Amino acid sequence: MVFDIDMIKSVYAAFPKRIAAARKAVGKPLTLTEKILYAHLSEGEATKGYERGVSYVDFKPDRVAMQDATAQMALLQFMQAGRSQVAVPSTVHCDHLIQAEVGATKDLAKAKDKNREVYDFLSSVSNKYGLGFWKPGAGIIHQVVLENYAFPGGMMIGTDSHTPNAGGLGMVAIGVGGADACDVMAGLPWELKFPKLIGVKLTGKLSGWTAAKDVILKVAGILTVKGGTGCIVEYFGEGARSLSATGKGTICNMGAEIGATTSIFGYDEKSEAYLRGTDRSAIADLANEIKEHLTGDPEVYASPSDYFDEVIEINLSELEPHINGPFTPDLAWPLSKFAAAVRENNWPQKLEVGLIGSCTNSSYEDISRAASLAQQAVDKKLKAKSEYTITPGSEQVRYTVERDGFLGVFENMGGVVLANACGPCIGQWARHGAEKQEKNSIITSFNRNFAKRADGNPNTHSFVASPEIVTAMAIAGDLTFNPQTDTLTNEEGMQVRLEEPAGLELPTKGFAVEDAGYQAPAADGASVEVKVAPDSDRLQLLEPFLPWEGTDLKGLKLLIKAKGKCTTDHISMAGPWLRFRGHLDNISNNLLIGAVNFFSEETNKVKNQLDGTYGEVPAVQRQYKLHNIGSVVVGDENYGEGSSREHAAMEPRFLGVRAILVKSFARIHETNLKKQGMLALTFDNPADYALVQEDDTIDIVGLDTFSPGKPLTVVLHHSDGSTDEIKVNHTYNEGQIKWFQAGSALNLVKENAI
């Protein structure tokens, strides 16, 4: 048993009183989302209702989960927090760094060798500070969490955008950056703007070729990639209760593709069956005792438009299988219209590869239904025309589906079983020939299909569908094939039809596994040594950032005036830089290399004010650092949108940038900057952006009376001797000003721990 039953008992014990207090504070019946959020207020019981989409609220999550690429910086920060143990149950999952090339066994062995020092580091830190550690090969974070840790009514944060997968089992599970994870592990509250709520009423029942995946593919088409921003999506209705827990997980997982904060289903018989099926009857028994608190109030579902900010209704009995793409997950095509779309848009009709599995779609139900089609292919003498790969989500699923013969069926059809890891889903795919950048089509049961995501080839047209549709398409090798209406020619020249897929939600013989790949932390971590080689190029222990010197900041140089969109990818690029996520000095060499310089309209080329030459942004900033000269980055609207990666705030801080001055910030990035002790400032008059010149030396004045709501002054000293004095705003509260003064939020956490 890896889950913490005592923690769940104490969460549930508080539910009735907290939910009654919340109902009183809000003054009306509650959605499930509200119940869970109000039951997790860091202050305890609600004394007032919060305004959706407006109020910032401190929460106390029950768990933290981290994947290996993001856990490195989260744990390096946690090591500075001065704590001997994590304050809430937390886990690390080694899934992102395993590259798919030839098949599970060889790929896993290669990854273990290549990433040894990162794995050793994560393992030893987990051991020391009391985190559960899931070794490479154990599985993908979200599947492992669903099988082991998710529980109805719980609240979890995870350093991965598909953390909402656990909503399938009734948990409010939200993707965050490593700095947030560090705070929660250190026992601090976690702040979130109280979300708006979208209700999705599901009626009817799935049948035939349609799967749970088609629900979210349809929703993505309705809401688009931005439609869920700032919202939690709550599913309900008789159709919701008819879906398996893992099917619900798939739907919640892909809520990330509509920008939703998270998605959730209520506790029902399917949740109970999954808990019991995954050896967690103790949780099911506890949940049954408070089950009225683990769904929304009946009045809410009877009249949803009175309680949700937006309501969508989908009849599962009428829902068609969908295929979404290419290049964006919200371009939704009902299967009956897809073939025409392929022809009209001139998308490559020949299907090169079908890929099933991943954290999104590798449940027993998914695999058994896909295998029923693979078996038909073998029986009906059809050879799969496309390459076909299977990525199990966990060792428990892999072992069980192998025992039950499904992997063998896939192999008979020519399928290749990949490691239980992210692999092609995150670009960790050594796809043969991708470097030629040929136009081609692939179809996956994954969640994202942005250009270059799977194989780095911008011309790969990637489509997303259910594992059943992916399998049928791989057998046909043709994107215009419609298994509901079309026949295929077999090896004997006969026309044959694929019958509807069939499978089981849960294995009749139960799940089994020999070695799930879990490492429990040491009973006493005090003597555990954390391994970081001083000459490592992948890991580097963090040094605390220096505290504020107590004076105004004078004589700063303009590093770059960024023009237009400047996302976290422009500030701290991903791709090949993924390997340096645990080494702040090395990853800082990608600082702002994607940002467009306002003055030259070029990327990664800025003026070095020390000698008048032009150089790469990180190199110029390192020159300023060498001469102990601070700098300022100026930006446009919504600076720092995109992912919550804290590297985008840590890198400029590390290299000596003192302030980011922009027209407006993306909120998470603004918070990340504050946490790292940076000044995050906005122009009072956005038109003042135009006043900033390439040769400017900059003063920031008013820091001795830095206080909430009080603007600061920026003085721009131009090279012609003239100056401009402009008013700049900030959103620092008292506590955040202390972060700035201490040098970072972490420095303050550490001070308070001593």
Number of residues binding to ligand SF4, judged by CB under 6 A: 13
372 vs 396, beta carbon nearer ligand SF4: 396
List, in order, residues 6 or more apart from 523 with CB less than 8 Å away. Answer: none
| C-alpha span between 737 and 744 (Å, rounded) | 10
* Residue tagged active-site, from 96, 142, 322, 658: 96
H-state helical runs in 463-616: 467-476, 568-571, 584-587
| C-alpha span between 102 and 132 (Å, rounded) | 30
State the CB neighbour count (10 A cutoff) for residue 719: 11
Scanning 135-143, 319-327, 475-483, 732-740 for contacts with ligand SF4 by CB under 6 A, the matching segment is 135-143
Element (H, E) at 738: helix 734-742
39 vs 422, beta carbon nearer ligand SF4: 422
Residue 140 binds ligand SF4 (CB under 6 A): yes
> Of the candidates 611, 630, 631, which has an alpha carbon nearest to the alpha carbon of residue 559?
631
Q: Cβ distance 235 to 197 under 8 Å?
A: no
DSSP one-letter code for 656: T
Reply yes or no on whether 636 is catalytic: no
Residue 359 binds ligand SF4 (CB under 6 A): yes
| C-alpha span between 703 and 679 (Å, rounded) | 10
Reply yes or no on whether 645 is catalytic: yes
Task: Spell 547-569 as b/e; 16+ CB within 10 A means b.
Answer: ebeeeebeebbbbbbbbebbbbb
517 vs 630, beta carbon nearer ligand SF4: 517
Reply yes or no on whether 643 is catalytic: yes
Q: How long is the chain?
A: 754
Reply yes or no on whether 160 is catalytic: yes
257 vs 297, beta carbon nearer ligand SF4: 257
Residue 358 binds ligand SF4 (CB under 6 A): yes
SS (H, E, C) 571-612: HECCHHHHHHCECHHHHHHHECCCCEECCCCCECCEECCCCC
161 vs 375, beta carbon nearer ligand SF4: 161
Scanning 136-144, 192-200, 335-343, 513-521 for contacts with ligand SF4 by CB under 6 A, the matching segment is 136-144
| Residue in 52, 60, 162, 675 binding ligand SF4, rule: CB under 6 A | 162
The minimum distance between CB 358 and ligand SF4, in angstroms, equals 4
* Residue tagged active-site, from 362, 643, 644, 744: 643
Residue 447 binds ligand SF4 (CB under 6 A): yes
Residue 35 binds ligand SF4 (CB under 6 A): no
The minimum distance between CB 278 and ligand SF4, in angstroms, equals 19
Reply yes or no on whether 263 is catalytic: no
The minimum distance between CB 452 and ligand SF4, in angstroms, equals 14
162 vs 322, beta carbon nearer ligand SF4: 162
Strands (E), 284-385: 310-315, 322-324, 332-334, 351-357
132 vs 427, beta carbon nearer ligand SF4: 427
99 vs 676, beta carbon nearer ligand SF4: 99
Residue 449 binds ligand SF4 (CB under 6 A): no
Q: What is the CA radius of gyration of the chain?
A: 26
Q: Which x/- pattern over 414-443 shows residues binding ligand SF4 (rule: CB under 6 A)?
A: --------x--xx-----------------
* Residue tagged active-site, from 538, 583, 645, 653: 645
Reply yes or no on whether 724 is catalytic: no
What SS3 state is found at 679? strand
Residue 92 binds ligand SF4 (CB under 6 A): no
Q: Measuring CA to CA, how many Å separate 268 from each of 153, 245, 250, 273?
A: 12, 9, 17, 9
Residue 475 binds ligand SF4 (CB under 6 A): no
| The two three-digit tokens of residue 497, written as one number | 């039809």
The whole-angstrom distance between residue 692's C-alpha and the CA centroid of its chain comes to: 36
Residue 33 binds ligand SF4 (CB under 6 A): no
Q: Cβ distance 75 to 405 under 8 Å?
A: no
Residues catalogued as catalytic: 95-96, 160, 448, 643, 645
Instruction: State the residues that interact with ligand SF4 by CB under 6 A.
Output: 95, 140-142, 160, 162, 358-359, 422, 425-426, 446-447
